[in-house]
Structure 1
Amino acid sequence: MKTITLQAVGRVHSTRGKAEDDNWDKEKVYIELDATQFTPEALAGLADFSHVEILFHMDQVDPAKVEKTARHPRNNTDWPKVGIFAQRGKNRPNQIGATICRILKVDGIQLHLEGLDAIDGSPVLDIKPWVAEFAPRGEVFQPQWITELMRSYWRS
């Protein structure tokens, strides 16, 4: 396979210094763009959107814990053993996180958000406005175990 090299566009500033599973909507964070690459013009127009999708690197995951097969989500044996690509856990092969967050404000090269599930210092790979037309088309369904898992992920 081809190796891909990416350069972070910014960093996450958060009160969370370690990965925890729940209550992420309480987090008010900001992303600060890399001032050597970007000016405030890079965020121009973004405040006209309610939400943004953030792609980030979960760089603090222990490489020894990266999963490439199947496991019980959160090691809960009440839930089925499923492949790493059938769950959103942090211990994934490329440690890429993707989250849709509410935009609170844009201030210079800082993007203030609510509900980003990235820890302090996480490198940001990309920022994209959330556009309704990119939402899923057709019926959406998921297994019951993920509904149970996500009950307190955003709010307690």
Structure 2
Amino acid sequence: MATYQVESIATVVGGHTRVQDDYQGGVESIIRLDGTYPLETLQGIEEFSHIVVTWRFHLASPGDVQLHARSPRGNESWPATGTFVHRNHRRPNQLAISYPRLLKVEGRDLLVTDLDAVDGTPIIDLAPYFEQMGPRGQVRQPAWPGEMLADYWHDASERP
């Protein structure tokens, strides 16, 4: 199996301070580009409403990886599904992809909202979201993700 070494290109500053399953919405944070990259690497990104952010679950450990079928969030009313059907830190490479809204760019700082990573999260890659590269055709999924994520993007200030 091939292995790859990647370095973070940016870091999340502010925003969520702890890992939580739901109420991710309405929180602003900064994606701060590392100083080794010239500012022109961001040139034009402010024209886009959303960006694609690849990040690492840096608070997870290799021991968190689970290579077996299990019910999402331990809820037995949802079917047991395999590791690659979950979108959490228990995946082998412990990577995530998010689509936050880009509010503004100030130098190396990208101010975003609705990024579900926590303060200090290393960013592996970022790119603008191109509508034409989103899913083609009708999106299909079982009922359980909608049930599980019903509160995911609720405003964090409304957290019980």
TM over 0.5: yes
TM-score norm. by structure 2 comes to: 0.93
Aligned residues: 155
5+ long unaligned stretches in structure 1:
none
- Paired residue for 1:19? 19
What is the CA–CA distance in structure 2 between the aligned matches of 1:10 and 1:154, rounded to whole Å? Answer: 24
- Paired residue for 1:45? 44
1:28-66, Cα deviation, whole Å (9 max, x unpaired): 11111110x213211110010010010001111132221
Structure 1 residue 78 displacement after superposition: 0.9
What is the CA–CA distance in structure 2 between the aligned matches of 1:77 and 1:54, rounded to whole Å? Answer: 31
Q: Note if contact 2:54-2:126 (Cα within 8 Å) is conserved in structure 1.
A: yes
Structure 1 residue 87 displacement after superposition: 1.8
- Paired residue for 1:8? 8
SS state at 1:64 partner: helix
1:59-103, Cα deviation, whole Å (9 max, x unpaired): 111322211121111111111000011121222110101011100
What is the CA–CA distance in structure 2 between the aligned matches of 1:119 and 1:147, rounded to whole Å? Answer: 23
Q: Mapping of 1:1-156 within 5 angstroms? A: 1-35=1-35, 37-155=36-154
Q: Note if contact 2:52-2:97 (Cα within 8 Å) is conserved in structure 1.
A: yes
5+ long unaligned stretches in structure 2:
156-160
SS state at 1:56 partner: strand
1:113-156, Cα deviation, whole Å (9 max, x unpaired): 11111111111000110001011111111110001011111115
Q: Note if contact 2:6-2:124 (Cα within 8 Å) is conserved in structure 1.
A: yes
Give RMSD over aligned pairs.
1.1
Q: Note if contact 1:39-1:108 (Cα within 8 Å) is conserved in structure 2.
A: no
Q: Aligned partner of 1:32: which letter?
A: R
Q: Note if contact 2:25-2:113 (Cα within 8 Å) is conserved in structure 1.
A: yes
What is the CA–CA distance in structure 2 between the aligned matches of 1:17 and 1:25, rounded to whole Å? Answer: 14
Structure with a larger share of its residues in strand: 1
Q: Aligned partner of 1:27: which letter?
A: V
Moved runs in structure 1, 4+ residues, more than 6 A?
none
Q: Aligned partner of 2:7: which letter?
A: Q
What is the CA–CA distance in structure 2 between the aligned matches of 1:105 and 1:46, rounded to whole Å? Answer: 9
Structure 1 residue 112 displacement after superposition: 0.8
Q: Aligned partner of 1:22: which letter?
A: D
TM-score norm. by structure 1 comes to: 0.95
Q: Bigger shift: 145-154 or 83-92? A: 83-92
Q: Note if contact 2:64-2:89 (Cα within 8 Å) is conserved in structure 1.
A: no
